[in-house]
Amino acid sequence: MLSLGLKTSRGRLVACLAFASVFFAGAARAEDGYRLWLRYDPLPAGATREYRARVTSVVVQGESATMQAARAELVEGLKGLLGASVPAATQVEGDGALVVGTLRSSAFVARLGWGKALAALGPEGFRIRTVKLGGRSVTVIASSDEAGALYGVFHFLRLLQTLQPTNDLDVSQKPRLRLRVLDHWDNLDRSVERGYAGRSLWDWEALPEKVDPRLRDYARANASIGINGSVLNNVNADSQSLSAEYLKKTAAVADAFRPYGVRVYLSARFSAPIELGGLKTADPLDPQAAEWWRRKADEIYRLIPDFGGFLVKANSEGQPGPRTYGRDHVDGANMLAAAVAPHGGVVMWRAFVYDMKPGYDRAGAAYDNLQPFDGRFAPNVLLQVKNGPIDFQPREPFHPLFGAMPRTRLMPELQITQEYLGFSNHLVFLAPMWREFLASDTHARGRGSTVAKVADGSLNRQRLTGMAGVANTGTARNWTGHHFAQANWYAFGRLAWNPDATSQQVADEWVKMTLTRDPPAVTSITRLMLESHEALVAYMTPLGLHHIMWGGHHYGPAPWENQFDRDDWNPTYYHRADAAGLGFDRTKTGSNTVSQYHAPVRARFASLSACPEEFLLWFHHVPWGHRMRSGRTLWDELAHSYQRGVDWARAARKSWDSLAGSIDEERHAAVARKLAIQERDAVWWRDSVLLYFQTFSKRPLPAGVEQPQKTLEEYKAKSLLDVDASAR
């Protein structure tokens, strides 16, 4: 919960909330979702009265671009929320002044004697306090640096948007992770790899002359949830983005982001010295290649002094890398790190490396490839590791590398865009999945060695920390394709700020800021969101199944697929169904990659009886007749799970329909259309997966599970994506 004094009488707050439902029902109007969670429509009258008395003038001290952005946000926000302008003043006069400033920009803040406390909160932290001065009550948003003041302003506005009391505030916050970065898999032609929300937001052709004003709103939205970095281009990188011409364009983007504390980064193609520099080799130990990168870094920093650094996908899925030249990951990463180090830049080196040898288990590949290098990366290198060992599946156990590289800065990479989770068609709130991951106990230093503590540096005493999220944004008017996919962007930012925030809290805030403050509606929407991930897993990949999606696009099921040249791109490789049973044996009798986990975790996963059932088929090949904890056989449990998923999708539609009065018509209808697709897809998943596995289990569907709507042959004949094209 938010750390603030709850002095407002409970009764009064409840009264405001009750009023909210009437107000919002009455004020429903067309909405396209562009404003995201930064909607500053008038609050209910009860709340406005109270807040107006608390905020009678705004005194933002400081004239830098960031302080101006903070002032503009506050002035706009208060005007909208309170339904009347709050005068901007330069001095604290009278009761109810709201002062914003840093130790340097504000004489008022400097006089408070908070120097030490603010310094301890760091450049991005802030303190919000109600202070009494000569009988006057003043609210102060203070920080040591400007970014903190801006974050404090967004925090204050969020308190109002969610109808929190503000009369006796005492909030101190700082981000737990240092780099909170969105990775855009955007190509220079504006297509977006795994993007489901239109085209890339970066209009490279028009840049640098024309900068779309939307870029400012993108940066604002990020700042409002603490995101402070953006990698503009795809990790499957084009060298061109490092050319002089494109760097100018990137510099213009950086200028647009800068007031909001968002730094730009670029994905670097390892062979750029050849493609752009005309060199014969990009061997990291070749002095000319290293020199080329040093000069390139100098050139970049001349244009963009606060450039964040490079993100690199090397020797993965056909990308060049140090191994192309007989060198290793450390040689490559450290060479780039040396180029940006003099400028304070970082290198985010990806661990998504999975060379295949015959009989290899892909789930163990990243560990095998990277773990031996622990302790050898330069101090400004972070190793960016996906949450799970395969690839952004609906559910994966945590990646074993998080417990295995104590002398390396590990930066989790999450996927906000829903590549394997129904694109922007399915309502799935990802905070519960990310929380499950962050709360996973690696046992690296005994009990309580959670992934969150690895990521925030507390477990291994590291200061350079970070978290990356593969962005789900695009030119779609509502930014993310599905209105509810905005919640995943939001949740990523909130969890990167505080990995211990609860899914419930994040959902509750987002719903109130974005959709409705009507209490019953808030309750049913947050419930829907909190259930959605478990439901999606139930109708896509229950009990530890994974990677059984169709072909290269990954939309819809194709567990029968076995035609790819690369074994590990085939669903049959992952589920291993046969007459005996189902699942990938990763214990001693199989690939034994379970041994990459620490002792107690390893033993639990490796034991058929102790393994959490949500990961059963991930670690074990299980007989069809195996008794599950419910008393059902594996086959029956599987069938019931798929049915449960379908039941949820149906119930979700009903529950959404019943909310028609609490949400504006436009967004209500758009979400309803998507929920219909989601239900259709859930049925498609249930039927085709069960029909296919039935050819091995030879068992009937248990009572309570509906008969399939089509035959297996029909499901095999057409990808769900093709069906979807006609449904959109």
Residues near ligand GCW (CB under 6 A): 185, 193-194, 235-236, 313, 317, 352, 391-392, 419
Rank residues 365 and 671 by Cβ distance to ligand GCW and give the closer one: 365
> 576 is written with which tokens?
């291993």
**Numbers of helices and strands, H then E, in the chain:** 24, 15
Tell me, yes or no, if 419 is annotated catalytic. Answer: yes
CB of 417 to ligand GCW, least distance (A): 9
| Cβ proximity to ligand GCW, 152 vs 321, nearer residue | 321
In the bound state with ligand GCW, the residue whose beta carbon lies nearer, of 118 and 192, is: 192
Count of C-beta atoms within a 10 Å radius of residue 90: 9
Contact (CB, 8 A) for 585 and 591: yes
Minimal distance in Å, beta carbon 317 to ligand GCW?
A: 6
**Is the Cβ–Cβ distance between 662 and 517 less than 8 Å?**
no
Q: Pick from 312, 244, 321: which is nearest to 282 by CA? A: 321
Shortest gap between Cβ of 364 and ligand GCW (angstroms)? Answer: 17
The residue nearest ligand GCW at its CB is 391
* DSSP single-letter state for residue 77: H
Q: What are phi and psi of 45, to 5 degrees?
A: -55, -40
Choose between 180 and 386: whose C-beta lies nearer to ligand GCW: 386
Catalytic residue among 32, 189, 317, 722: 317
As measured in angstroms, the least distance from the Cβ of 554 to ligand GCW is 7
Whether residue 391 lies in the annotated active site = yes
Pick from 200, 158, 207, 187: nearest CA to 38: 158
Rounded Cα distance between 416 and 558, Å, is 23
Q: Rank residues 393 and 486 by Cβ distance to ligand GCW and give the closer one.
A: 393
Q: How far is the CB of 233 from ligand GCW (least distance, A)?
A: 11
Catalytic residue among 50, 186, 391, 456: 391
Q: Which residues contact 527 (CB under 8 A, 6 or more apart)?
A: none
DSSP state of 626: P
* Residue of 556, 582, 548 whose CA lies nearest to 693: 582
Residue (352 or 398) nearer to ligand GCW, CB: 352
CB of 487 to ligand GCW, least distance (A): 21
SS (H, E, C) 22-54: HHHHHHCCCCCCCCCCCCCCCCCHHHHHHHHHH
The nearer residue to ligand GCW, 164 or 187, going by C-beta atoms, is 187
Of 102 and 425, the one with the shorter C-beta distance to ligand GCW is 425
Residue 198 or 388: which CB sits closer to ligand GCW? 388
Element (H, E) at 414: strand 409-415
**Least distance to ligand GCW, CB of residue 411, Å:** 14
**Across the chain, which distance is largest between two alpha carbons, in Å?**
82
The C-alpha torsion from 335 through 338 and 340 to 341, rounded to 10°, is: 150
Q: Is 561 a catalytic residue?
A: no
Distance from C-alpha of 612 to C-alpha of 262, rounded to nearest angstrom: 40
Q: How far is the CB of 193 from ligand GCW (least distance, A)?
A: 5
**Collapsing DSSP states into helix, strand and coil, what is residue 363?**
helix
Which helix (H) or strand (E) covers residue 433, if one does? helix 431-438
Is the peptide bond prior to 208 cis by the omega test (within 30 degrees of 0)? yes
Beta-bridge mates of residue 309: 346
Q: Residues, the chain, total? A: 728
N- to C-terminal Cα distance for the chain?
Answer: 40
Strands 97-102 vs 381-386: parallel, antiparallel or unpaired: unpaired
* CA neighbours closer than 13 Å in the CB half-sphere of residue 188: 17
CB of 183 to ligand GCW, least distance (A): 9
- The whole-angstrom separation of Cα 467 and Cα 471 is 12
Which residue, 267 or 643, is less far from ligand GCW as judged by CB?
Answer: 267
In the numeric block, which tokens belong to residue 74?
């506050």
CA distance 190 to 199: 6
Nearer to ligand GCW, 174 or 184 (CB): 184
What's the closest the beta carbon of residue 415 comes to ligand GCW, in angstroms?
7
Torsion angle of C-alpha atoms 608, 614, 617, 623, degrees rounded to 10:
60
Distance of closest approach, residue 705 Cβ to ligand GCW, in angstroms: 32
Cβ atoms of residues 439 and 450 within 8 Å: yes
Nearest to 60 by CA among 32, 99, 113: 99
Q: Which of 331, 396, 419, 637 is catalytic?
A: 419
The catalytic residues are 317, 391, 419
